[in-house]
Amino acid sequence: MASEDLFFEDFPIVASVSRLPQPLSETPASVTVIDQEMIRASGMRTVEDLLRLVPGFQVASHNKDSAIVAYHGLNSGMNTDEYGPRVQVLVDGRSEYSPLFKSGVNWNLLPVALENIERIEVTRGANTVSYGSNAFMGVINIITLDTTQTPGWMTAVNVGNNQIRDETLRWGGKVGEADVRFTARQLSDGGFQNGLYSRQWMAETDDRRTSLLELRADLPLTHRDELGVTASLVKNVSGYGQPGSPVGNPIYDFNQSSAALGLLWRHFGEQGDEYKLRYAYVQDDASANYLQTVNMNCPTIPPVPVTAADKVAWCLLPPVSFVRNVDPGGKSIQHELEFEHVLTPVGSWRAVWGGGLKSIELHSVAQFSTNAAVRRQTGRVFGNLEYRPTQSWLFNFGAGLENDSRMGWMFDPRASISYHLMPGHTARFGASRAHRNPSLYEIAGFAERRDPSGSGLTNIDYFAQGVQPERVDTLELGYLGELKLLNASVDVRAFIERMPNRIQIIPMALPASQPDNDDPMIGRYLAETMPGLANTIFPYGRADSANNIEDVKIRGYEYQLRWQPTSRTRLIYNGAIVAIDASLTDVSLVAESSNENTTKIPQQTRESAPLHAQSAMLIQKLPYNLTASVMYFRSGSMRWRRNGNPLSETERIDWRLAKSFRVGGQRGEVAYTVQMANGPQYGRNTTTLADRLQWLSLRLDF
What confidence score (pLDDT) does residue 364 get?
97
SS3 5: helix
Could you tell me if 366 and 82 are in contact, meaning their C-beta atoms sit under 8 angstroms apart?
Answer: no
CATH code assigned at 186? 2.40.170.20
How high is the pLDDT of residue 97? 93
Cβ atoms of 128 and 148 closer than 8 Å: no
Which residues of the chain register pLDDT less than 50?
A: 1-9, 520-535
**Cα–Cα–Cα angle for 607, 545, 508, nearest 5°?**
95
Number of domains in the chain: 1
- CA 388-391-397 angle, to 5 degrees, is 25
pLDDT value at position 9? 46
Per the prediction, the chain carries an average pLDDT of 90
Task: Give the residue numbers spanning the domain of 531.
Answer: 3-701
- pLDDT of amino acid 549: 96
Q: What does the pLDDT look like over 321-357, one tens digit per residue? A: 888 899 999 999 999 999 999 997 778 999 999 999 9
The three-state (H, E, C) secondary structure of 216-278, written as one string: EEEEECCCCEEEEEEEEEEEEEEEECCCCCCCCCCCEEEEEEEEEEEEEEEEECCCCCEEEEE
Peptide bond before 305: cis, by omega within 30 degrees of 0?
yes
Q: Is 56 exposed, middle or buried (0-12, 13-18, 19+ CB in 10 A)?
A: buried
- Assess contact for 140 and 90: CB atoms under 8 A: yes
Which residues 6+ apart lie within 8 Å of 86 measured at CB?
A: 70, 71, 74, 134, 136, 137, 138, 436
- For 358-384, the pLDDT digits (tens) are 999 999 999 999 999 999 999 999 999
Interatomic CA distance for residues 493 and 29, integer angstroms? 9
Tell me, letter by letter, the H, E, C secondary structure of 110-136. Answer: CCCCHHHEEEEEEEECCCHHHHCCCCC
Residue 661 forms beta bridges with which residues? 668
pLDDT of 523: 42
Radius of gyration of the chain (CA): 26
DSSP letter for each residue of 160-191: ESTT-EEEEEEEEEEETTEEEEEEEEEEEE--
Q: What is the pLDDT of residues 473-524, one digit of tens each?
A: 999 999 999 998 899 999 999 999 999 999 999 999 888 888 887 764 444 4
Helix intervals (H) in 519-659:
596-606
The two most distant CA atoms of the chain are separated, in Å, by 90
What is the predicted pLDDT for the residue at 530? 46
Phi/psi class of residue 525: alpha, beta or left (left: φ > 0; alpha: ψ in -120 to 50)? alpha
Confidence (pLDDT) at 122: 97
- 3-state SS class at 83: coil
Q: How far apart are CA 510 and CA 339, in angstroms?
A: 44
Rounded CA separation 203/198 (Å): 13
CA dihedral 605, 610, 611, 615 (to 10 degrees): -150
